[in-house]
Structure 1
Amino acid sequence: MLIPAEVELKQITKAKAFPVSYSWSRLEGRPVTDNFDRALKAEVRDALWMLTRQWQLGEFEGDDAGSPVTVKLSTSAIEVNKYKADDQTVQSFNKNIPFEATVEQRPVPFNTLQQDLSLDLRLIMGRRWLLLLKNKGLLDAPMKQFFLDHYGIRKPAPTNAADAGICAHPETWQQYAAVAGRMVDGGKLYLELKDNTVPHYYDLPDFPPADHTVLDGIEKEFRTWFSNLLYQPEDPINDAWKPEQLEYQFAISAPAGNGEKVLHAEEYYHGHLDWYNVDVAKDTPTLGELPPDAPPPPVPVKITQSLIPAPVQFEGMPNTRWWAFEDSRTNFSYVKPDTAELAKLLLIEFGLIYANDWYLIPYKLPVGTLTSIKGLTLTNSFGENFWIDAAGKGDTNDFLRWNMFSMKVDSATPVPTDNDLLLLPTVAKIQESKAQEEVLFIRDEMANMVWGVETIIPLPGGTSKSGFEAAVEYHSFLQKLIDDSGVVLPPGPPVKDGDEEARIRYEVMNAIPENWIPFVPAHVEGSNREVQLQRAAMPRILNNDPKTRPDKIRPRTSLLQYKLAEKGAYFIHEEEVPRSGVRVAQSYQRTRWNDGKVFVWFGVRKTTGKGEGSSGLGFDRIVNRPADTP
């Protein structure tokens, strides 16, 4: 591009006709000997040369002479008042609860499709219930026996296939045997009180005489105690987990003028929730209507304050005075950036060139609000006033626009960038327990499918175990039940002459571990090319199994049992399982809120897997005959 000679560089940069790069030279003394006496004198031999250098560096223009003295800031803050988990019902936003707990909360798994879980938690709840009865003077011998008869821990039968989930694992079997018939199942009682789907316990004919009003108060106290112990959704509308996409999805909104400003998060799974997890949904006018009993919409709060800017300082910062030395703890000469390491180059440029040009304005924002900066004026040491514009203002598609701490705007058409500040009620630190259950989704190119490998499964006793060990114990226990029953299948048809001498056999399908749950490709309804992954099942092959059709192997984690109770299909979007795989785990999260209250909830984490894998699954194979096979 040809540029006329009369066009100055300032005009070109102001018009932003094309990207322009800048370069500066740092003027500093470089002694050639170990004697610093003369170098520290800073002798000026040629004053004219010094003046020309000042002219070249632009010091005569005085653009960098004034320092900020006071700042006047005008803001408008509005409280976030709506929250919506996934595509559920809109509810009021509660800033008195950690937002991580609000979004990540999932129901505590008291049972799976095959077996009751969380024996340790059930025992704690049962002990608490008996303690509440004792405090009210109601726990006599007939009362305790009633709850043991109706809500006691049942002793598993090692000869019953329905109890295989307990008896197959020795440590779990020991736990149940120790408390069976002696302790109350508080989880069963709590679920009945919550669902209210069975007759009330004190309406049963063998219930001892007692004041029902006092019992109602004990029930309320019992449910309040458990809700404070574990924060979990009381209603499905609070569950933001999206099983089809293996991530959380939620949205929030705040009043804005005559409408709303909607912010949505479509891919949250990191465990660190903050403003950068949400985007502005520009094309969504409203999040929906709140329930009738919801509080009225908040009113914007406008604040104008005068503040004093403070210079930004860091260790090793280059000193702007000639007679002072910098701290050696930060040596920029040791930073060796590569040509592609833009972040290091920006760090060096900031530290060496703009060392004393950055100022910090302290300003407090209310939690759970969306704040808009209406205006910012600055007065420097010369009494000059400046109107400060946002660095990242302009069109979102402008490639020259650069800013930080601003939310991404999702819109079908070009719109101005959004410079509002969102401060969510989040916490800085969360304690996480060991994974209670874990599933590794891997691609198996040889079998042309995806496997959901249950690497950690929850045991009925409340602990967890390796899915590979548990699968072997469970299969071996079921095989032992058949072997102990003495069932022997009748022999097959006689072999033909000569076939008994063959060294190979035909195998319809080989067996794989039971903790490998298949997901097969399936066409999306209404599309001829789009593919999604559908949960399938492998047959359980047992020797001498009297059943005409083998049982289907079902998953033992709640993550993979989605819609299995109602015999529904579970689909996962095909793009959610890349070649690197995906690890999904559920664990307990714990944090302390600003008022000292402790919150514990059950949440999901998703991380990157370890690459592809192979199950070794094969069909219609020719295998060598074992030596002891007739």
Structure 2
Amino acid sequence: MTWEYYRRIEPMPPYTDLQRGFSAELADPLWMLGRQWQVGEHAGEDASAPVLVEAPVAHTPLEPVAGLDPTVVPAEALLEGAAEDWWTIGRRIRIGRAFADTLSPQQRAEAAFTTLPEPYGDAFADEVDGLKLARVGLVDRTHPALTGLDDRPDFWQPTTLTYECQVPVGGTTLHVRAHDGGDVDWYTADAEAPLPAPAFQTRQVVPQRLQYPGAPGPRWWQIEDGTVDIGGFPPDRAHLATALLLELVCDHANDWFTFPVPAPRIEPGDEGRPTSGVVVGLGDVRVKDTFDDWWDLNIPPGDSDPPAQADEAPGPWSLFRTSGLDRSSLVVWPTAATPLTGPALDDVLLGVDEDANLLWAVELRADGIDRALSADSAAALEETRRTGTRRFTWLASTTLPEHWHPYRIEHGSSRMFVQGLVAGRAAAQSELLGAGNGHVLAASAVPNQGMRLERRYALARATDGKPVLWRQRRRLPLLAGPVSHLRFDLLRESSP
């Protein structure tokens, strides 16, 4: 048995202590060197590592839109805000009181508050609504109580239920098209043309090795993070990011480096330049390695760029690129990362009912007041069931749930959905559906599976620290749209 211990080179813990066995000590360092030789670690290359990056950087600020500075105001508030966002309930009450004495009894009655969202309820039922007065032109815009009210445009398109906006920058224009509301990023806007003359500043920064959870160690035999299992994420055609991560880990190992894009240089007497709300562009980037050699970094060409040269990467390919700008430019918005959002003011479901040949808009909530508890149409479905009694009652139609508003299809120059009225029922109250003034929708605005519309207040801070309040309207997907089970000229069979 003693000979067996000496013949085999392996860690052997004492019988009473397992700690040395768990530590896996090596009795012969040559064994480690032999294993390194077997896996090819000794066959190194005379390679180098980057130690310095020299990059010409241009920060071109976005120009004001509707009187707002895109380098200060969060992009979501810039695109989604409107003039009536200023009219909070408190301001509506105060301004209504300020002008109440100038109104006739009829005007007071027409401008009175209706039921307000909780916790207000009917507490101000006899008060004058300042917003209603402003809509009919019965307020003096020079009154001190209206300080801060502006006439900024509303970029919401009620026909397509999306936002559209134009942002000028450095001699070109960024076009925001079909924005559904919510997060704004580099892909939100497309440029009309590349920037004609960006002002570059050459800066030097130090690169760092790319680090992420589960990244391979920079040296052989280095213990990696066991809490992250990269192999546990199988590649899937629906998850491109997972496939790219596996490609990075398996094929490129630890050869990736990153460098930060430096902020604009602050000149003496300069108050500082914006680092967001800008178009950031890179010039000809050079990298210095540990052998004191300089290397040029070439950006892969895009669709509209000349073909790649012999020493350039083939294209087109880019993980982040703003369409219309040159391949080294990107839009950086001052986004509201974690805005505070209030309860839904409006909650509407939209969906095409193929059986009824209509589009339905179901008002679950309008102006902060609950309308329909759900989009359930079980009552109409029950009226079409057969019971076997053979006793029938004629119905003009099945029961249509409350707060369901039909849109009929009309064919003109283009196919549109036009809002209709149900006899004996009130029109739609939600601002998203026209607030009783009618509503027309483009046929392409509503997908086959339907969608949800929400409107709610959001609060964030601008880059100068000041609070910004706006009403956010968003399109959200649904798995299936509302179905009315509507039938006409129906014989309902009585219950047994």
Q: What's the TM-score, normalizing by structure 1? A: 0.60
Distance 2:306 2:284 in 1: 24
* Deviation for aligned residue 1:389: 0.9
Q: Superposed, which structure 2 residues align to 1:471-550 within 5 Å?
A: 504-525=392-413, 531-540=415-424
Seen in structure 2, the aligned counterparts of structure 1 residues 107 and 610 have a Cα distance that, compared at 3 Å, is farther
Seen in structure 2, the aligned counterparts of structure 1 residues 81 and 395 have a Cα distance that, compared at 3 Å, is same
Distance 1:120 1:465 in 2: 21
Corresponding residue of 1:613: 482
**Structure number with higher helix proportion:** 1
Aligned residue for 2:84, secondary structure, equals coil
Q: Superposed, which structure 2 residues align to 1:113-512 within 5 Å?
A: 121-126=91-96, 129=98, 146=101, 154=109, 174-176=122-124, 180=126, 185-187=129-131, 191=134, 197-198=137-138, 219-224=142-147, 227=149, 234-235=151-152, 238-255=153-170, 260-282=171-193, 300-322=198-220, 324-337=222-235, 342-362=240-260, 363-364=262-263, 366-391=275-300, 393=302, 395=304, 400-409=315-324, 418-458=327-367, 463-468=368-373, 504-512=392-400
Aligned pairs, number: 446
Alignment-mate amino acid for residue 428 of structure 2: P
The yes-or-no answer on 1:561 pairing with 2:434 is: yes
Seen in structure 2, the aligned counterparts of structure 1 residues 118 and 557 have a Cα distance that, compared at 3 Å, is farther
* Deviation for aligned residue 1:262: 2.5
Distance 1:315 1:353 in 2: 17
Aligned residue for 2:246, secondary structure, equals helix
Distance 1:613 1:102 in 2: 33
Question: Does the CA contact (< 8 Å) of 2:53 and 2:206 recur in 1?
Answer: yes
Question: Does the CA contact (< 8 Å) of 1:318 and 1:351 recur in 2?
Answer: yes
Aligned residue for 2:249, secondary structure, equals helix
Seen in structure 2, the aligned counterparts of structure 1 residues 315 and 516 have a Cα distance that, compared at 3 Å, is closer
Question: Does the CA contact (< 8 Å) of 2:351 and 2:481 recur in 1?
Answer: yes
Alignment-mate amino acid for residue 172 of structure 2: K
Q: What's the TM-score, normalizing by structure 2? A: 0.75
Distance 2:495 2:239 in 1: 60
Distance 1:624 1:46 in 2: 84
Aligned residue for 1:602, secondary structure, equals strand
Aligned residue for 1:356, secondary structure, equals coil
Distance 1:360 1:109 in 2: 42
Query: 5+ unaligned residues in a row in structure 2: which ranges?
Result: 1-9, 13-20, 265-274, 308-313, 375-389
Q: Deviations over 1:362-415 (max 9, x none)?
A: 222532222321211111001111111114556579995332221134xxxxxx
Seen in structure 2, the aligned counterparts of structure 1 residues 242 and 265 have a Cα distance that, compared at 3 Å, is same
Corresponding residue of 1:544: none
Distance 2:401 2:238 in 1: 46
Seen in structure 2, the aligned counterparts of structure 1 residues 170 and 244 have a Cα distance that, compared at 3 Å, is closer
Distance 1:77 1:41 in 2: 56
Corresponding residue of 2:310: none
* Deviation for aligned residue 1:587: 0.8
Distance 1:308 1:609 in 2: 47
Question: Does the CA contact (< 8 Å) of 2:455 and 2:474 recur in 1?
Answer: yes
Question: Does the CA contact (< 8 Å) of 2:41 and 2:220 recur in 1?
Answer: no
Alignment-mate amino acid for residue 222 of structure 1: A
Question: Does the CA contact (< 8 Å) of 1:456 and 1:466 recur in 2?
Answer: yes
Alignment-mate amino acid for residue 263 of structure 2: K
Seen in structure 2, the aligned counterparts of structure 1 residues 92 and 430 have a Cα distance that, compared at 3 Å, is closer
Q: Which moved more, 1:570-579 or 1:146-155?
A: 146-155
Aligned residue for 2:72, secondary structure, equals coil
Q: Deviations over 1:583-608 (max 9, x none)?
A: 01111111122222111111201101
Distance 1:355 1:278 in 2: 34
Aligned residue for 1:73, secondary structure, equals strand
Q: Deviations over 1:30-72 (max 9, x none)?
A: x99976626864455699x869x579x8x55x4xx11111111
Corresponding residue of 2:271: none
Distance 2:410 2:250 in 1: 58
Aligned residue for 2:327, secondary structure, equals coil
Corresponding residue of 1:498: none
Distance 2:132 2:280 in 1: 47
Larger Rg: 1
Alignment-mate amino acid for residue 432 of structure 2: L
Aligned residue for 2:59, secondary structure, equals strand
Distance 2:431 2:238 in 1: 45
Seen in structure 2, the aligned counterparts of structure 1 residues 511 and 337 have a Cα distance that, compared at 3 Å, is closer
Corresponding residue of 2:458: 589
Query: 5+ unaligned residues in a row in structure 1: which ranges?
Result: 1-30, 85-90, 111-116, 131-144, 157-161, 201-215, 228-232, 287-297, 410-415, 470-501, 541-551
Distance 1:572 1:600 in 2: 28
Seen in structure 2, the aligned counterparts of structure 1 residues 176 and 79 have a Cα distance that, compared at 3 Å, is closer
Q: Deviations over 1:558-603 (max 9, x none)?
A: 11126x54xxx63212222222111011111111222221111112
Distance 2:464 2:326 in 1: 36
* Deviation for aligned residue 1:277: 0.8
* Deviation for aligned residue 1:92: 7.3
- In the alignment, which of 73, 79, 82 is matched to residue 106 of structure 1? 82
